[in-house]
Amino acid sequence: MGRLDGKVAAITGGASGIGEATVRLFVAEGARVGFADRDGARGSDLARQIQGDGGNVLFVETRMERQAEAEAFIGRTVERFGRLDILVNNAAIRLYHTVEDAGEESWDTIWGVNVKGYAFCARAAIPELRLSGKGSIVNIASNSAFIASYHSVQYDTTKAAVTGLTRAMARDHAEDGIRVNALCPGPTMTPFHRRRAAEAGKTLEEFREEFGRPTMLGRPGEPREIAACALFLASDEASFVTGACLIADGGESATGSNRALKPSG
């Protein structure tokens, strides 16, 4: 018996990184999964892989900042699987700016994906989650909601907004039997950060050592470790958890000195 047997989940940003790890884990735990991503080629390839291994998934190429597309993704997932029990809002982008050099267009772009996209999917999902009787929403935020980083004013702001969105939705929909929680990862070795290593001219091990140095564990996390936390929050094992922010950052946010030095490269 899997921990999500009989459940249907919708996962955004599911084609790579934490999203891909979450799709794979949820399928392994018995869920039928609809997942969305703006990368149509990568998402379609992942869906073929999982289906080839016997998993039941649906991929929908989606730009989450567009309300019609976000709602269509939820609609197609429900149409395919007949219900919805779990929503994992994971799709996000990161831009590196200070408030001085962040322009209107970049603010609109990151706010649209990182905040409005979460709200658009939740808006479409809540009527279906209400019908399930024990719905769960997991919003992937970041420990950047609590800790300032250099040149990340837009990303930090949007992730703080996600934690506020989470608490507000949890309050509004507790009586509907819907739990809403935020998961706040710290440094995690996703493909995005592997590309950053290459762009900085560093070996993967050099980047990994520097990236994970601020954590108590002395290393960055892996996407599968964050996916395991999402699984807990989504599952009935977290039946008394709502309105919470689960920090999974290897102790980085508890050190008090995590980003005191400017990053090199």
Q: What is the pLDDT of residue 43?
A: 98
DSSP letter (8 states) at residue 253: H
Structure token pair of residue 150 = 């250099």
Q: Residue 146: which residues within 8 A CB-CB, separation 6 or more?
A: 160, 184, 247, 253
Q: What is the pLDDT of residue 233?
A: 98
Whether residue 11 is predicted with pLDDT greater than 90 in this model: the reply is yes
- Mean pLDDT for the stretch of residues 123-151: 95
Helix (H) or strand (E) holding 9: strand 8-12
Q: What is the pLDDT of residue 173?
A: 98
Q: What is the pLDDT of residue 257?
A: 56
**Which DSSP string do the residues of 32-59 spell out, in sequence order?**
EEEEEES-HHHHHHHHHHHHHTT--EEE
Q: What is the pLDDT of residue 260?
A: 44
Structure token pair of residue 134 = 């024990």
- Mean pLDDT for the stretch of residues 94-116: 96
Whether 33 and 78 have beta carbons less than 8 Å apart is answered as: no
Q: How far is CA 187 from the centre of its chain?
A: 13
Buried b (16+ CB within 10 A) or exposed e, 11-39: bbbbbbbbbbbbbbbbbbbebbbbbbbbe
CA nearest neighbour of 212 among 228, 231, 193 = 193
Half-sphere exposure of 59 (CA within 13 A, CB side): 25
pLDDT one-digit tens code per residue, 190-241? 888 888 888 888 888 888 888 889 999 999 999 999 999 999 999 999 999 9
Whether 57 and 48 have beta carbons less than 8 Å apart is answered as: no
- Mean pLDDT for the stretch of residues 14-42: 98
- Please list the residues that pair with 15 across neighbouring strands: none
Answer whether 0.85 is exceeded by the pTM.
yes
Rounded CA separation 224/24 (Å): 9
Least trusted range by pLDDT, from 110-119, 129-138, 194-203:
194-203
pLDDT one-digit tens code per residue, 158-192? 999 999 999 999 999 999 999 999 999 999 998 88
Structure token pair of residue 182 = 């935020």
- Mean pLDDT for the stretch of residues 126-148: 96
Whether 247 and 186 have beta carbons less than 8 Å apart is answered as: yes
Q: Name the H helices within 150-245.
A: 153-173, 191-199, 204-212, 223-234
- Mean pLDDT for the stretch of residues 32-61: 98
Widest distance between CA atoms in the chain: 53
Whether residue 150 is predicted with pLDDT greater than 80 in this model: the reply is yes
Q: Which residues are catalytic?
A: 155
- Mean pLDDT for the stretch of residues 13-34: 98
Q: What is the pLDDT of residue 261?
A: 47
- Mean pLDDT for the stretch of residues 47-71: 98
Structure token pair of residue 148 = 């300032």
Count how many residues are written for the chain: 265
Rounded CA separation 174/194 (Å): 39
